[in-house]
Amino acid sequence: MDAFQGIIKFFVNQKTIIGYSFMALLTVGSERLFSLVAFKCPCSAENTVYGLVFLLAPAWVLLILGFFVNNRSWKLFTGCCVNPRKMFPRGHNCHFFYVLGQIILSSLVAPMMWLSVALLNGTFYECAMSGTKSERLLELICKGKPKECWEELNKVSCGKTSMTTTDNEELKLSLQAQSQILGWFLICSASFFSLLTTCYARCRSKVSYLQLNFWKTYAQKEKEQLEDTILDYANKLSERNLKCFFENKRPDAFPMPTFAAWEAASQLHSFHQGPQYYSTLHKVVEDGLDHHPEDDETTMVLVGSAHSV
């Protein structure tokens, strides 16, 4: 039993790595499926557009999906047209751009994986480059090759050129090699940039290593328990309302957060070393919130003294 619990704890602690590994496997599988089933290079003047669409369009879709599935995106933009002050709270005008940068970086993971896998495979790049009309690219690709290379490059992917089979195969291998070089360059660049941003974020951290670990653990636990609590309260409220509706009676009081409390708990969190709040919800609970009747319903007034942890 202890060994089983240890295995579970290991997987829980490594869930980020496991998630990225699963995403990488899914990306590889999707790329192979596209290459074998959907992708058919036209071997015409449309090669460049066709190849680039298969190379870049899935990456763009994955980027958009990354924004959609990131809860911080909606926490950042929900209600911003009604109350722009949500995006740029007083004293934290730059925090919006910091959070937006984090959202963009996390959303770029899947597109970068797709581009890396697609370039390492070389099929899409080969098709796109074989349709180029650029003199410089043609000179680079066809250097040392027969003159037919300049005229029939778009037919290389299909093997229908008037060149010998050896020259045609060498040209295909050359394009695939270029694609793989770009793929490894992209992987190395992304890894190095990820290391730099992580090091910079840790160097600029306002908390120590242990406190940062506690903060991450707290944030994760709060998120999990908040989802469970919201589901529980929604079930209880819907059950109460349905029961009162069918029994035709007045409902009992059901305590719920005020509108102002919902607004306050939905704001972006910014850590301060004074009162050590580990989330916006933590700050709302510790400080308390007072909503005056004469205020606009989107106006929040935090009251009470700060409590040090």
Give tens-digit pLDDT for 104-135.
988 898 899 899 999 998 889 999 998 888 88
pLDDT for 119 equals 93
Does one domain contain both 200 and 303? no
pLDDT for 250 equals 92
| Rounded average pLDDT over 162-182 | 88
Does one domain contain both 140 and 67? yes
Look at residue 290 and tell me if it is in a domain: yes
CB-CB neighbours of 124 under 10 Å:
25
Of 204, 227, 249, the position where a domain reaches its end is: 204
pLDDT for 36 equals 72
Per-residue CA distances from 134 to 56, 119, 138, 158, 294 (Å): 20, 21, 6, 21, 67
Look at residue 209 and tell me if it is in a domain: no
- Decide if 124 contacts 51 (C-beta within 8 A): yes
Of 183, 204, 225, the position where a domain reaches its end is: 204
Look at residue 231 and tell me if it is in a domain: no
Does one domain contain both 99 and 192? yes
| Rounded average pLDDT over 195-204 | 89
Does one domain contain both 30 and 120? yes
pLDDT for 246 equals 93
| Rounded average pLDDT over 162-175 | 85
153 has pLDDT over 60: yes
Return the bridge partners of 301, or none: 290
**Sequence-ordered list of residues with C-beta below 8 angstroms from that of 216, at least 6 positions apart, any chain:** none
Does one domain contain both 261 and 198? no
292 has pLDDT over 70: no
Which band of pLDDT confidence, cut at 50, 70 and 90, is reported for residue 301? very low
Does one domain contain both 307 and 184? no
Look at residue 262 and tell me if it is in a domain: yes
Does one domain contain both 193 and 264? no
pLDDT for 237 equals 94
Of 204, 239, 267, the position where a domain reaches its end is: 204
Does one domain contain both 49 and 157? yes
Which band of pLDDT confidence, cut at 50, 70 and 90, is reported for residue 26? confident
Q: Which domain holds residue 269?
A: 257-309
Does one domain contain both 295 and 198? no
Look at residue 110 and tell me if it is in a domain: yes
Confirm whether pTM is higher than 0.85: no
Look at residue 133 and tell me if it is in a domain: yes
Q: H/E element holding 301? A: strand 301-302
Closest CA to 269 of 258, 261, 281, 259: 281
Does one domain contain both 263 and 161? no
Which band of pLDDT confidence, cut at 50, 70 and 90, is reported for residue 290? low
Does one domain contain both 168 and 283? no
Which segment of 64-78, 219-233, 291-305 scores lowest on mean pLDDT? 291-305
The percent of residues in the chain predicted with pLDDT above 70, rounded, is 83
Better-predicted residue by pLDDT, 17 or 211: 211
Does one domain contain both 291 and 180? no
Which band of pLDDT confidence, cut at 50, 70 and 90, is reported for residue 92? low
